[in-house]
A and B are shown apart, each in its own frame.
Chain A
Amino acid sequence: MSDGTIGDAPTGPKSAYFLSHTDEAVERRTLAVLVDNEPGVLARVVGLFSGRGYNIDSLTVAEVDSSQHRSRITIVTQGTPHILEQIEAQLLRIVPVGEVIDITKSKRGIERELSLIKVAGTGEVRVEALRIAEIFRARVIDTTNESFIFELTGASDKISQFIDLMRPLGLVEVSRTGVLSIKRGKEQG
């Protein structure tokens, strides 16, 4: 046999089955995936994530160019740099996927999320809810004597913060869109 020094091999995965790249830190990424808007394309993208064990933190999708039937899927995901590289490559293997833009890596991304938040209560808590809503520049889009629905747009953590503040003030229900993103500057993609 040759002079293999297996005993001295660096600690790490023992074979492909243990491939974990645990030495790499997990990063959060926002990806914009431009796809042909054909039946099943969302299922292909989502199926890829579940089938290969990748994470989806949030996902939004809508047609953005009806003349060319192009949709934009915004996915927030997490993984080690190695996994994130695989996610991008695997997405591009899907036939109707035209382009994958790593918004986070570009460092020029803007991310926004829309939320609708229902709060019920009377008296002092109702006034307090409205006061905090003003600080956050949330709009009241529906009201009854005992409730508000606020519309709030902003970065995801700002919305989460607002929701936390509403919790003791009679928070009933939350609906969020998930993250939308676009890159700054005049260039496309």
Chain B
Amino acid sequence: MTTTTKPKTRAASPAPTEPRIMSGAQIVIEALREQGVDSLFGYPGGAVLPIYDALFAAPDLRHILVRHEQGAGHAAEGYARSTGKPGVALVTSGPGATNMVTPITDAMMDSIPMVVLCGQVPTHLIGTDAFQECDTIGITRTCSKHNYLVTDVNDLARVIHEAFLIATSGRPGPVVIDIPKDVQFATGTYIGKEGVHKPTYNPRTIPQPEAVSAIVDLIMTSRRPIFYTGGGVINSGPRASKLLRELQAATGIPVTSTLMGLGAFAASHPDWLGMVGMHGSFEANNAMHDCDLMICLGARFDDRVTGRIDAFSPNSKKVHIDIDPSSINKIVRVDVPVVGDCAATLQAILKELGARKGKKPNLAEWQKQIAAWRARDCFAYANSDTVIKPQYAVQRLYELTRNQETYISTEVGQHQMWAAQFYRFEEPNHWMTSGGLGTMGYGLPAAVGIQVAHPDALVIDIAGEASVQMVMQEFSTAVQHRLPIKVFIMNNEWMGMVRQWQELLHGERYSHSYSESLPDFVKLAEALGGHGIHCDNPQELDAKIQEMIDHDGPVLFDCRIEKAENCLPMIPSGSAHNEMILGEITGNEVSDAGKKLV
């Protein structure tokens, strides 16, 4: 080698990078930037002020100031669920961190990628019961996917990159990073995300070929197959929904979904059965019960789905595709367990199916049976000219918003189930609801997060008047940040689902489930700087909903609905899929064993 080649070689290779030295707070900002974060949700406080100081000089990171840390967490979840990107929240130590526990648990239960940055008291004060100190790591250990206490500023960049990797890969979930104040002030070296990995963390995503082959064998020979899909299909990304639709088209297998999976398959498709489970459709639940092949895709046999376990789909072969091995055989024993990512597995099944060049399974008899169940029209309700029925309200909301880009979030309770039953989702990531944890107060802050991610879309929180009061203050966040969210309150003056269960299980003794002194939501909206709409007349509902849609700003819509309406159909606790309550509740539906259940 001649000496002249040396400079050339040197010029071709990248310049040796100087170690990047900066404060811990700047490392946080830099790492968020490198991870592609554009928005974060937070609330400042003593132990996190250095990071807020660095944020002051980072106008490219949009910070949404909430009114309560729980709001920041749910907003980050809404952002994450509607984009597929991780949500980021930034809170202070002590109460800031403890207020985040509910959203962290919520994200854990629903597998939502989220990174939570918490301030902590300086390292030398940890363990002394210092002001606003709490054991954040201890408190969040079991409700997060992973958590870190960073005691050396030189670990900070690596930890943040690792946290994003863990939050977004495998089965997604929340990761908490606890950063003491002295670490935020200390000077250390920034490292980039390349090369950051955790040797013990290798989630499997590609399914085993034998399993894929076994699934295709079962599909070809089945007579009464069903796809039972869940939130895993959404989490796997839009490609998984596309592949599900391709596989469905190639096989003709009818599709049902959990609450979390709505939108993965188009609700307008003739083979869509509606939601499965406690408040699912008659056709979906009966098809689950009578099928001979159940392909569970990214769902986890939750108790709201299965009902009575010993009577759950007694005659079917069961395939369970899940990225988390601990979900498989946890509740229901399956015949073909498959550990893999939904999209990767669907792709492999489609490839194998194509290679076999077989005929579509003959499902004529099955489709006839399903049509008979469908003809029962389980969601039928008696409409009224004088009172707004909740089902009618959601139907009108759907009809008036279906032709534009609309994202729906909900709180928890009857309104949530009516939304799931009557709003029809065509695309993934458009339906944000608290499924696993069932967090009242999720929907309004989630709508804030969704609107931040999709500024031009219509974002509606379908709410109940009880749930929404848990987080009412976040309406002010929407006003401050000019986020034109629409809060559609289905106001029946009751904690509706509690009331329904008291009617069903507790002899109509309505213990503490009536809201005695509700606010005037119209005046409240105005007091908070938004627009309030009141409607109690079905004749005026369309015009008022249109007024809500057309208003350029946050709206609180007080929709006064039928007070004692029950959410039906329903599989009562301790009952099987084919033991649904369809008409009226009589009070004798639930066995003594069932009454002890949640």
Contacts and interface: CB of A to CB of B under 8 A. Distances in A.
Interface string B576-598: 11111000000000000110111
Interface of A: 1-2, 4, 6, 9-19, 35-36, 39-40, 43-44, 47-48, 51, 82, 85-86, 89-90, 92-93, 95-98
A10 B200 contact: no
A149 B314 CA distance: 61
B314 A9 contact: yes
A48 to B, nearest CB: 8
B303 interface: yes
Interface of B: 137-138, 141-142, 145-147, 149, 166, 198-201, 286, 289-290, 301, 303, 306-311, 314, 324-326, 328-331, 373, 573-574, 576-580, 593-594, 596-598
B289 A82 contact: no
Contacts of A89: 325-326, 328, 330
15 contacts: A4-B289, A4-B576, A4-B579, A6-B576, A6-B579, A14-B593, A14-B594, A17-B303, A17-B597, A17-B598, A18-B593, A19-B309, A47-B141, A95-B145, A96-B198
Nearest to A91: B326
B594 to A, nearest CB: 8
A4 B578 contact: yes
B198 A10 contact: no
A40 to B, nearest CB: 6
Given A14-B309, A19-B309, 5 more contacts: A6-B308, A15-B574, A18-B309, A36-B199, A39-B149
Nearest to B307: A15
A9 B289 CA distance: 13
B289 A93 contact: no
B381 to A, nearest CB: 20
B363 to A, nearest CB: 17
Contacts of B310: 9-14
Contacts of A90: 326
B452 to A, nearest CB: 29
A40 B137 contact: yes
A72 to B, nearest CB: 13
Nearest to B198: A95
Contact of B142 (A16, A35, A51): A51
Contact of A43 (B138, B308, B325, B596): B138
A12 to B, nearest CB: 5
Contacts of B301: 16
A90 B325 CA distance: 8
A86 B577 CA distance: 26
B578 A19 contact: no
Contacts of B146: 95
B200 A36 contact: yes
Contacts of B373: 2
A15 B326 contact: no
B355 to A, nearest CB: 32
Contact of A96 (B142, B200, B289, B330): B200
Given A6-B576, A14-B593, A96-B200, A85 B329 contact: yes
Contact of A86 (B307, B309, B314, B330): B330
A44 B325 CA distance: 18
A15 B303 contact: yes
Nearest to B170: A93
Contacts of A14: 308-310, 574, 593-594
A98 B198 CA distance: 10
Contacts, number: 100
A93 B138 contact: no
B576 A2 contact: no
A35 B579 contact: no
A122 B311 CA distance: 68
A171 B527 CA distance: 76
A144 B541 CA distance: 93
B303 A16 contact: yes
A2 B578 contact: yes
Nearest to A16: B303
Nearest to A50: B142
Contact of A9 (B137, B311, B329, B594): B311
Sorted nearest first, the 4 A-B pairs with minimum C-beta distance are A89-B326, A98-B200, A4-B578, A16-B303
A12 B314 CA distance: 13
A132 to B, nearest CB: 45
Contact of A15 (B147, B306, B324, B328): B306
A6 to B, nearest CB: 5
Contacts of A43: 138, 141
A39 B149 CA distance: 9
Contacts of A17: 303, 596-598
Nearest to B332: A16
B326 A2 contact: no
Nearest to B290: A2
A2 B287 CA distance: 9
Contacts of A15: 303, 306-309, 573-574, 594, 597
B311 A4 contact: yes
Contact of A98 (B199, B289, B326): B199
Contacts of B201: 95
A82 B324 contact: no
Contact of B311 (A6, A19, A82): A6
A131 to B, nearest CB: 50
Contacts of B329: 82, 85-86
A88 B163 CA distance: 24
Nearest to A82: B329
B578 A16 contact: no
Contacts of B145: 95
Nearest to B593: A14
A65 to B, nearest CB: 12
Contacts of B326: 86, 89-90, 92-93
A40 B141 contact: yes
A2 B370 CA distance: 11
A176 B114 CA distance: 43
